[in-house]
């Protein structure tokens, strides 16, 4: 079963608007990562947040992590048409699952020019 | 750096045939992962290796699936015999271990169609 569940499943916005995607997970994690996948391509790593961090920024991306609620959010500010893609959260449990990532089902983001 | 290289990009085969997917990870990476992506089941981890040794193959669906990593620069995923339900996009990814907090680098996948 998938560890991470993204919400919403699909999001459609206009260029310049902000996009927020949420991820919930079930078990304790070592870190949580966000990936982007353009149509017909492999996944590309965006940002990693460790379990002892609450917020992280990278360019127009802002990620938050709430381990008490077992949830994370990805905010893309001032979206562009080029941000159109699927976005996945992935969790690493650490321990005996060292190095292993479990992915959610993803959010399909469409940014209209 | 050329990134993770997978071949072929597309494979169309008939049910019952053997299929071999290939992957060249990024040089210096010590973890290699095989994932399968379908609309119905999303991204599923099939198997992963550390330093060429299989660590967890619990995601391999059946004995028809096998994976090898004979050296640090090459891995194969074989399906024999193939079935229509194996149709999916198969991704290879690699990473460099840093206390479990390493991003995965994905190849562009092999789209497999079994008729």
Using an 8 Å CB-CB cutoff, list chain B residues near A48.
Answer: 101, 103
Q: Does residue A53 have a pLDDT over 90? A: yes
The length of chain A in residues reads 113
B100: nearest CA in chain A?
Answer: A99
DSSP tag of B58: T
Task: Give phi and psi for A51, each to the nearest 5.
Answer: -65, -20
User: Whole-angstrom Cα distance, residue A102 to residue B43?
Assistant: 8
Place of tokens 């660590």: B55
Using an 8 Å CB-CB cutoff, list chain A residues near B58.
Answer: none
A50 DSSP β-pair partners = A31
Contact: A101, B104; criterion CB under 8 Å: yes
Strands (E), B29-107: 31-38, 42-50, 53-56, 65-71, 74-79, 88-95, 105-106
User: Whole-angstrom Cα distance, residue A19 to residue A2?
Assistant: 23
DSSP tag of A41: S
Smallest CA–CA separation between A14 and chain B, in Å? 26
List per-residue pLDDT tens for chain B, 115 residues long.
689 999 999 999 999 999 999 999 999 999 999 999 999 999 999 999 999 999 999 999 889 999 999 999 999 999 999 999 999 999 999 998 755 678 899 999 999 999 9
Per-residue pLDDT tens digits for A4-45: 688 899 999 999 999 999 999 998 888 899 999 999 999 999
């Amino acid at each position: 079963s998938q560890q991470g569940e993204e919400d919403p499943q699909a999001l459609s916005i206009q260029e310049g608007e902000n996009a927020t995607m949420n991820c919930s997970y079930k078990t304790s994690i070592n870190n949580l990562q966000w990936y982007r996948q353009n149509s017909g391509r492999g996944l590309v790593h965006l940002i990693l947040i460790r379990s002892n961090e609450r917020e992280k920024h990278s360019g127009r991306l802002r990620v938050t992590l709430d381990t008490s609620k077992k949830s994370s959010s990805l905010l893309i500010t001032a979206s562009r048409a080029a941000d159109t893609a699927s976005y996945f959260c992935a969790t690493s449990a650490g321990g005996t699952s060292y190095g292993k990532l479990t992915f959610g089902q993803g959010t399909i983001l469409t940014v209209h020019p | 750096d050329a990134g993770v290289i997978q071949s072929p990009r597309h494979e169309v085969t008939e049910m019952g045939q053997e299929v071999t997917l290939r992957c060249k990870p990024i040089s210096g990476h010590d973890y290699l992962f095989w994932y399968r992506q379908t609309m119905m089941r999303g991204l599923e981890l099939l198997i992963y290796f550390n330093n060429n040794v299989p660590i967890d193959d619990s995601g391999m669906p059946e004995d028809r699936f096998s994976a090898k990593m004979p050296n640090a620069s090459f891995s194969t995923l074989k399906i024999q015999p193939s079935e229509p339900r194996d149709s999916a996009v198969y991704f290879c990814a690699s990473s460099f271990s840093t206390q479990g907090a390493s991003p995965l680098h994905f190849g562009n996948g092999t789209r497999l169609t079994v008729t």
